[in-house]
Structure formats: structure tokens, C-alpha cells
Amino acid sequence: MINRKNVQLGTVRSSIRELFEYGKQRKKEIGEENVFDFSIGNPSVPAPPEVNAAIKEIVDECDPVLLHGYTSAQGDYGTRKVLADYTNARFATALNAECFYLTCGAAASLTIILNALLNAGDEVITFAPFFPEYRIFIENAGGRLVAVKCEEDTFRIDFDRLESAITAHTKGVIVNSPNNPSGVVYTEEEIVRLTKLLEKYSKKYGNTIYLISDEPYRELVYDERVKVPYIMNYYRHSVVCYSYSKSLSLPGERIGYIAVNNEMPEFSEVYAAICGAGRALGFVCAPNLFQQLIKRVYNVTSDVSVYKRNRDRLYSALTRYGFKVVKPDGAFYMFVKSPEQSSVDFCERAKKYELLIVPGDDFGGEGYARISYCVAPDMIERALPAFKKLAESYR
Amino acid sequence: MINRKNVQLGTVRSSIRELFEYGKQRKKEIGEENVFDFSIGNPSVPAPPEVNAAIKEIVDECDPVLLHGYTSAQGDYGTRKVLADYTNARFATALNAECFYLTCGAAASLTIILNALLNAGDEVITFAPFFPEYRIFIENAGGRLVAVKCEEDTFRIDFDRLESAITAHTKGVIVNSPNNPSGVVYTEEEIVRLTKLLEKYSKKYGNTIYLISDEPYRELVYDERVKVPYIMNYYRHSVVCYSYSKSLSLPGERIGYIAVNNEMPEFSEVYAAICGAGRALGFVCAPNLFQQLIKRVYNVTSDVSVYKRNRDRLYSALTRYGFKVVKPDGAFYMFVKSPEQSSVDFCERAKKYELLIVPGDDFGGEGYARISYCVAPDMIERALPAFKKLAESYR
């Protein structure tokens, strides 16, 4: 009688959440320090001190009626202007405040842009492995997710598979780089090849294919030589979905944005559809206090050096133990190959050593498991002997 | 090619927004103090001092990783427990924390509950005049809004009209009391009569009809004798959508909740569907800092005595000038009868006296205009001569 699909969505826990709850229970049984929980992508680094300092300043300095009042649906103009200037300086774009639409975080950015673009039956391509909520967001917008498997063992884009997946119904492609769960960052060469392909097929089918760049992990890159290409520099019909959840360690505060490339001829229509979709979904505006915050700390990032040290420590140890892992260039995940066919069985076996890692199946990455290394460094040290034993159990 | 409905929604400004923008322009032309803007329902009273004090305390006292981190989708357990205890003490309910689901404000509460309950083609009844966004929210959830006109001149529920509007497809009824835009508060007698009718027709058609109480204006009631009945005390299949936008003057911060009556047998399914809908729409969780805030100031309200004084001053003057108005018991709106047939023409004429009031047509209240009196009292004093001239122009 009520909406079955949403009952189902609210009842079935994701495997990540399931494991997280198991971990909480297990910690009670054998002690916090004896469970090695690598299940959740929750930043372990606090927000930089500038954040709380700015919150107090804002509360002291701003007129409370304005501070806590509605902004326009698009967001505070001053904040959007600052974001435009910052983006232009950093990526040599020519955006203006009117290109930005502030949102309640990355999930909101995605549901809004998908509802803005999609009509019933449209297809959206993404590269597997991928963040499982994409499927839910796309289906809720009336579309169908088409997962294109990445190259085995490298998780780079498989362009042959991509080409055969594009149809006359393809409305968009979501790229997520640095990637959750593989940690891969797409190179400029890959992005150029991807955009050429989208141009070719947009023309062939007479349907614009939009490129949606989901970038919550943009600032989480650990080597100087690794650059995350800015999608707008390569493709006119592109939209960037950004979130401060990871870069400022503010996942619970729900603040991010959509930026629309003003080089696309139908810019005004796309931006209007974003406003319409945000309205219909019930977003009204992004939390005003955090809009004001971003205006002040737009160029600050949490200390992500911990994640880099975690990555290096874990990667070198795991490979030493014999695990196959693609070294992640960014984000805070590592996708490890299962030594047995079923990654579900692999993760179950890991549990015996109190290691909580998530089967890749939900991510469209069968045969792999995701390790979230946004954790305390000492937990990694304590977990390494367990990983070693896990590896040895397969000899 | 992209979603036409959302392009349309994002392009066409509401008449309220249109008038508000006109007012901004007009103020530039003839001076701020010469334009009497009664167009927008934005609280004019600041958040109580407890709010900013609590924000600073929270920032100082809480572990930043926890404070700014994700909560569960349902919201912080401690906050939900406080809300359950407070609601039980105030309304003699027997709710628990598990009945509450924290949201990004009233609009989110509504879109989530509507997506949780509705299947394609379901009908949702509301009483006209009504908040125009209801139509957008209901249609986005796949449903159809059925507007039941209130009694002429009193804006009380017309039970004959209601009865003939209920069909086998009726999935829910939205009540909004105190009402935007009429200011009417439904009496206990009306609520009892309404719920009896819903029980009768739920039985007749074998379909549960849900009662959704949209309560952003609950605390904005100006007379001791006026009680706002708590819907859960009258009907099992009821859900309360609450927001702190008006009661704490925090409309821009997006914080509110859904409370589900635990007396309904299918409670678990409805709650699960809410979780599913919130997930699919991209809400993730309500802003954590404001969840923590509510835990501390759940029983505080802005000083709404200004609104009462505004109401009294405006009501007595307008009736003296000859306008027909139902005296509002709550909210901060007054619905004045147009002296000419078209309320659009009436509002256009009001503009000549620099009075910005909104035609009732968008609210399903043709022949009336909405006056928002959440404004500075001195603006009302300055506006009264203009209202007087407007009245005289019809003699």
C-alpha cells in the first residue's frame, strides 16, 4: 500500500552499514582496541581549526536574522562569487557566481543534477567499481544505471567497453576521480579520450551526453605528480558536483555545490532545471551558517597527510604479505583483490581475524574488497599482524 | 532534451518571489522606508540568544570529528530521545526516539513522507487556501493534489466538500494549522470530525488514509484560549512534520523532523519507507551541528509577541478601513478579501500605494490576498495610511 521501493530501500542495510553495526557489537564483546574496523568512509581527521574559529566569528559578527534566514535557493551570492573566483584562479575557467548552486552535500548535488537532466528511461553510465548510491539516485530520477567495468587489475577506464555501452538513450556519464572505492585518479589522457568519445556519440545520436564529475575526494591526493584534471577544461557539457565532507571533514553538516560549465550553449536551461529539481526534492537552500563558513574557509583543507601515511604504511605491508592492491592515488580507500573467488567469503574470513573490510560486490567490483583507511594510524599498526595472518591462511 | 518539468519549475518564479524582487527594485528607486513589503514569510524576529550561545558551546565542547561527522540517517539518537520525552510530556503521547526522523526542515519532511507513502496515481487532499509548494512536492512523489475549498469567509474545513473529494485513491490528507496563508487554527472539534471521516473512508475503501500534519507554525499562536490539537492524540495513522524555521527563526539552517505515530500497526514499514525515501532523495542526514543545537534548545521559542502585536495592530486597522479579514489565530499571515473580483487586480492596485501583498490565487484562495506580518512594527505604522487610501480608492 505504501511505497514498496522505499520500504525496501529503508529496510535493507548496505553491506557497509551492516558490517559497521557488526563492528560496534564486536567491540563491546572483545574491546574496542581488538577490532580493526576498515568499513566506513568517515573522515578520521578533524575539521581544521579554522572551521570552528570561523563558526564562532560568524555567530558573533553576523546579524542573526540574516545569518539564520533563508538564502536564495541557489545560495548566498557572496559565497558563490568567492567560489567562482577561486575556481577560476585555480583551474583557469571563466565561471561566475551564477554558475554555482550550493547544496546540502554531494548526495544532494547528485540527486539534483540527475533530476534536472533525466527523463524517464534515460541511461547514465558510470565506471565500475562505483559508489553504490549512484544506482539509487539514478533510479529515483527515473533513469537506469549502466555500469561499465574498468580494466581488470588497474581500474582504469576500459574504452572499448565504454564505447559499446553508449546508446541513443545515454544522457550522462558520472566520473568519480579520485575514485571510491579504487582510489584511482584518471589521467588527463583518459579524460581527453573520454570527452572525445562523448562528443562523437553526442553527435552521432543527436543527443547531448553530459559529463558529471563527482568530486568529494578532489583534495585527497597524495603525490605531487598526480593531477586531477578539471573536467570543465575538457568538455563543454560538464557539471562538477563538489562536497566539503572530506576536504574539510564536515560530512555531517551537508554542504557542497554544483558548478555548471558556462561554455555549454544550453547553460540557462540546465541551471533552471537544477533550481527546479532542488525545489521539487525539498532542499529550499543549503544550511546558511555553513554557506557563510565556506565563504571564509573556501581555500582551507583538513590535514590529509595522515591519510597519505596510512596509505603508504598499509600498501607496503599488504603487498609484502602477498595481497594484490592497486596503489591508490587519492581518496582514502584501497581495493584489495580477494585471494579466493568470492570476496564475500574473503571478507567473512577476515572477520575471524577481527578485520572488517567490505566485499566489492555492492560496488560492482566482484572479487575485490574495500579497505577504508581513514582511521587512526595506531589501529593500522595493530591490524597489520591480523592482515599477515589472513594472508598466510591462504597459503 | 533535459527534464522540461524541472526547467519550468526553475524558470517560473512564484508570485511571492516575483513581488519580493519587484520590492527590492522599488526600494532602490524610492527608498527603503517608502515601500511596504508584506510579501515574504521570513521571520523578522531573531533567533533567541540561547541559539548562538549554544552553537558556541557546542563548538567548544564537542569532539570535532563527532560534531561534524555523519549521524545515522535518522538523526542523532540523543536528540531524538529528547524530542520524544518532550513531546510525551507536552502532548501525553508515548513516543520513543525511534519514532523521530530528523530532517533538513519542513520541505524535506514533506517530500520524504510523501515519497515514503505515495505510489503513482495516489491522491493527497489538502484544504484550500494552502501553501503552493504542496502541489510540487506531491506531484514529484508521483501523486496528485486534490484541493478542497474551505468555507467561504471563515476558512474552516468544509466537511461536505471534503467527503465528496475522498476516493479509493486518497492516500493522505495534509493539514496545516496554524495555516499559511489564512492564519486559521483548526479546533479539536474539527480535528475529531476530520479523523472520524478518514476512519470511515479508510474502512470503506480498504485503504489507509494517512493524516500528515505540517506544523511549522505550531508555536506561533497568539491567544491563551487557542489550542492546537496534537494530531497523534486523535488518529493512529498520523505523521507530524515539524520545522524550527519559524519557532526558532532558523529558516536558513534547515532543521526539522518527522514524527511517526507508533500506534499505527504498520509503524515499522512507514518508518522504513521514510528512511528509504530520505536516502533516495539524497538527504543523508540533517546538519549535525543543528541536530546538537536542538538537543539543547528543544524547548525554547523566539519572542513571538512581536507577531501578536503586529497582528492586533494590522487587524484592527484593516477592519476599521473596511477590509474583510478573518482574524488569524496563528502563523504570521492575514488573508484579506479583495474588494474587487480579481485579487490580482487588487494587488496591482495596492502596488500603487507601495503596498506589496500577494494574490491568493497561487494558494487556491482566489478573491483574497495574503499579507505577511512578520515585519518590523514601524513598517506597519508607516503602511497604515497606504492601506487606508487603498480602501478609500474602492469607495
- Per CB-CB distance under 8 Å, the chain B contacts of A6 are 115-116, 272-274, 276-277, 280
ipTM computed for the complex: 0.96
With a CB cutoff of 8 Å and minimum separation 6, the contacts of B74 are B80, B98, B100, B101, B102, B275
Question: What is the average pLDDT value for chain A, to the nearest integer?
Answer: 96
What single letter denotes the amino acid at residue B121? G
Cα A114 to Cα A88, A109, A233, A277: the distances in Å are: 25, 9, 22, 9
User: What is the secondary structure of B184-211 as a DSSP string?
Assistant: ----HHHHHHHHHHHHHHHHHHT-PPEE
Q: A interface mutation test: which of B6, B101, B307 has the most A CBs within 10 A?
A: B6
Residue A77 pLDDT exceeds 80: yes
- Of A63-67, A350-354, B385-389, least confident by mean pLDDT is A63-67
Say what the pLDDT of residue A192 is: 98
Question: What is the Cα–Cα distance from B312 to B374, expressed in whole angstroms?
Answer: 13
CB contacts, 8 Å: B8 with chain A? 276
Give the mutation candidate from B61, B63, B254, B297 for the A interface (greatest A CB count, under 10 A): B254
- The pLDDT of residue A40 is 87
Tell me the pTM: 0.96
The answer, yes or no, to whether residue A232 has pLDDT greater than 80, is yes
The more confidently predicted of residues A41 and A269 is A269
CB within 8 Å: A266 and B2: yes
Minimum-distance CB partner of B279 among A10, A208, A282: A10
Chain B contact for A62 (CB, 8 A cutoff) = no
Distance CA A37, CA A372 (A): 8
Residue from the list A6, A59, A275 with its beta carbon closest to the beta carbon of B276: A6
Residue predicted with more confidence, A171 or B40: A171
Chain B stretch 317-376, residues whose beta carbon is closer than 8 A to a beta carbon of chain A: none
Shortest distance, CA A267 to any CA of chain B (angstroms): 11
Cα–Cα distance between A111 and A136 in angstroms, integer?
A: 9
Whole-Å CA distances, B315 to A376, B227, B324: 62, 21, 10
**Mind telling me how many Å the CA of B54 is from chain A's nearest CA?**
10
Which residue numbers in chain B have pLDDT < 70? none
Give the position of cell 560538464: A238
pLDDT score recorded for residue B54:
97
Size of interface A-B (CB pairs under 8 A): 259
For residue A311, the model assigns a pLDDT of 97
Q: With beta carbons under 8 A apart, name residues in chain A contacting B275.
A: 9-11
Q: Model confidence at A265, in pLDDT bands (50, 70, 90)? A: very high
Whether the pLDDT of residue A21 is over 90: the answer is no
A1 touches chain B (CB under 8 A): yes
- b/e map A365-378, b = 16+ CB within 10 Å: bbebbbbbbbbeee
- The whole-number average pLDDT for the span A196-215 is 98
Chain A nearest-CA residue for B72: A252
The CA distance from B76 to the nearest CA of chain A, in Å, is 11
DSSP state of A282: T
Amino acid at residue number B295: K
The pLDDT score that the predictor gives to residue B40 is: 87
List the 204-243 stretch of A: residues with Cβ below 8 A of B.
207-208
Q: Scanning every residue of chain B, which has its alpha carbon at the shortest distance from the alpha carbon of A143? A: B3
